[in-house]
């Protein structure tokens, strides 16, 4: 990874791109995106495509790899699940935990997310903790308590050393896949709240140093504005990361 304060561009492919599609994407992306030393680029393909990505990107060590989700246990009778130690064998070095779709569709509550973070860290995978509010919670004025709870419970599950390794992604649930994007001021406000919660769990110095990404309908047309928002250290991209040219344009934003 580059300078810890350099922007981080993360691609969450969700349930898109099998191994064959993944190889084709990488071939196009590396032609469109030149390596840069002042940013980190991480891909989160489906677990089935992790090794395909690793093989296709073997000549591009600047393109890092992560898993979208892991089971909260390291092994056992959990049909269809994958564990963090398994993922580590693919060459991946990152992992997502707490994405809103996992919380909504699979019932991952804050306690389960905390356990998944612990498993990722034990396997030497660097976690990105996803937090964010629904439209109903936002309209009810619950932005601050929701973010404080999600961050606080996650930090409580980890020891002091592991807390320093967390990256955070604020994803307003109402903006994911809807075409709606938080405004410059919305993103700055939410990221400040996330840092307040981090400070309560780790101290103000570590909160200032933490990387906090924005996720929610990020695209080439709004990437410059989002990166300019106070407290935004990068982006977690969904739909726009599925197109090589589009994601290459996003990852090239602010290139020095």
Which residues have a catalytic role annotated? 99, 171
Burial class (CB in 10 A: 0-12, 13-18, 19+), 3: exposed
C-alpha 30, offset from chain centre: 21
Q: 96: part of which helix (H) or strand (E)?
A: strand 94-97
Per-residue 3-state assignment (H helix, E strand, C coil) for 12-23: ECCCCCCHHHHH
Q: How far apart are CA 16 and CA 35, in angstroms?
A: 24
Q: Are 12 and 99 in contact (CB under 8 A)?
A: yes
C-alpha 195, offset from chain centre: 16
The secondary structure of residue 141, as a DSSP letter, is: T
For tokens 């591009």, the residue is 60
* Structure tokens given for 237: 């991209």
* Structure tokens given for 244: 């090589």
Burial class (CB in 10 A: 0-12, 13-18, 19+), 127: buried
Q: Are 231 and 7 in contact (CB under 8 A)?
A: no
Sign of CA dihedral 119, 111, 182, 145: negative
| Cβ within 8 Å of residue 10, ≥6 positions away | 41, 42, 43, 44, 66, 94, 128, 169, 213, 215, 234, 235, 236, 237
């Amino acid at each position: 990874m580059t300078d810890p304060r350099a922007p981080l561009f993360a691609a969450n492919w969700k349930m898109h791109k099998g191994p064959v599609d993944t190889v084709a994407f990488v071939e196009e992306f590396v032609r469109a995106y030149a390596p840069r030393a002042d940013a980190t680029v991480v891909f989160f393909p489906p677990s089935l495509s992790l090794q395909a990505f690793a093989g296709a990107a073997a000549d591009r060590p600047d393109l890092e790899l992560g898993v979208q989700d892991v089971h909260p246990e390291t092994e056992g009778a959990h049909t269809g699940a994958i564990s963090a130690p398994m993922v580590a064998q693919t060459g991946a070095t990152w992992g997502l935990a707490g994405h809103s779709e996992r919380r909504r569709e699979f019932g991952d509550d804050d306690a389960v997310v905390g356990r998944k973070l612990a498993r990722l860290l034990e396997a030497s995978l660097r976690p990105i903790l996803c937090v964010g509010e629904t439209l109903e919670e936002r309209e009810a004025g619950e932005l601050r308590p929701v973010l404080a709870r999600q961050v606080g419970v996650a930090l409580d599950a980890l020891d002091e050393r592991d807390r320093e390794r967390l990256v955070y992604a604020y994803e307003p649930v109402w903006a994911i896949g809807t075409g709606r994007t938080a405004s410059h001021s919305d993103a700055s406000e939410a990221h400040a709240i996330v840092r307040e919660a981090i400070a309560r769990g780790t101290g103000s110095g570590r909160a200032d140093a933490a990387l906090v990404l924005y996720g929610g309908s990020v695209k080439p047309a709004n990437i410059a504005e989002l990166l300019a928002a106070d407290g935004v250290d990068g982006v977690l991209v969904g739909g726009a990361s599925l197109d090589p040219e589009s994601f290459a344009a996003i990852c090239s934003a602010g290139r020095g």
